[in-house]
């Protein structure tokens, strides 16, 4: 359902604002609030280092990435590094069909107040140098809707696109689908 928010937004137009946008972005990666990412590209090494450090410090972090990030030559090692560190990473496509990609570039962190990021800039080294946009704002409504979308995407990916996952098992919060419950019960009986 469409929704509206009213808030103050800080807008970045890249590449001119690239250095300050990237600095703002990286500053919030290790915020202590529960943080959700939905992203297309995810190869910015300082971001990945900060996510792993935040995870090791107990910050709950959840990531949904386009499936291309788990198959690309440059992308897969970085995503695997996150998974190996114990960070929750789900990869997938679109619930509208596997021929469609996950193209969002957004973050919602439940800081006090909520910190939100949305834009066209990929979370990559080159994204800050390309013609892109980014917006930073605080909105509990946007946070809540973004998290709801994340949960639906994650559930879809683990139900319908299990073959795209790098994690060996579904993360907590994913409900077992009827087919996976049947598989689990069959495995328990043998």
Q: What are the structural domains of the chain? A: 9-189 (3.30.870.10)
Nearest to 41 by CA among 15, 13, 11, 74: 74
pLDDT at 53: 96
9-59: pLDDT as tens digits = 999 999 999 999 999 999 998 888 999 999 999 999 999 999 999 999 999
Give 84's contacts (C-beta < 8 A, 6+ positions apart). Answer: none
Surface-to-core class of residue 187, CB atoms within 10 Å of its CB (0-12 exposed, 13-18 middle, 19+ buried): exposed
**Do residues 30 and 50 make contact, with C-beta atoms less than 8 angstroms apart?**
yes
Tell me the average pLDDT across 170-175: 94
**Is the predicted pLDDT of residue 186 greater than 60, yes or no?**
no
Instruction: Give the pLDDT band of residue 179 (cuts 50, 70, 90).
Output: low
pLDDT at 112: 87
Mean pLDDT of 2-8: 95
The number of C-alpha atoms within 13 Å of 188 and in the hemisphere containing its C-beta is: 6
Backbone angles phi, psi at 54, to 5 degrees: -65, -45
Question: How big is the chain by its Cα radius of gyration, in Å?
Answer: 17
Q: What is the pTM of this model?
A: 0.92
Q: Which two tokens stand for residue 19?
A: 């250095």
């Amino acid at each position: 359902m469409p929704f509206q928010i009213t808030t103050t937004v800080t807008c970045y137009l890249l590449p001119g604002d690239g250095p300050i946008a990237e600095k703002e972005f990286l500053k919030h990666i290790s915020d202590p609030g529960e943080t959700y990412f939905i992203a297309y590209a995810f190869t910015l090494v300082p971001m990945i280092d900060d996510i792993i450090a935040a995870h090791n410090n107990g910050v709950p972090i959840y990531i949904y990435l386009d499936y291309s990030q788990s198959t690309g030559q440059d992308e897969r090692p970085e995503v695997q590094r996150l998974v190996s560190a114990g960070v929750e990473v789900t990869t997938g496509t679109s619930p509208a069909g596997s021929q469609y990609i996950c193209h969002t570039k957004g973050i919602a962190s439940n800081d006090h107040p909520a910190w939100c990021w949305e834009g066209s800039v990929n979370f990559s080294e080159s994204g800050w140098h390309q013609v892109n946009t980014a917006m930073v704002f605080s909105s509990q409504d946007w946070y809540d809707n973004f998290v709801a979308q994340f949960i639906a995407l994650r559930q879809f990916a683990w139900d319908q696109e299990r073959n795209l996952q790098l994690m060996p098992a579904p993360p907590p919060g994913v409900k077992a689908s009827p087919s996976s419950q049947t598989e689990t019960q069959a495995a328990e009986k043998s």
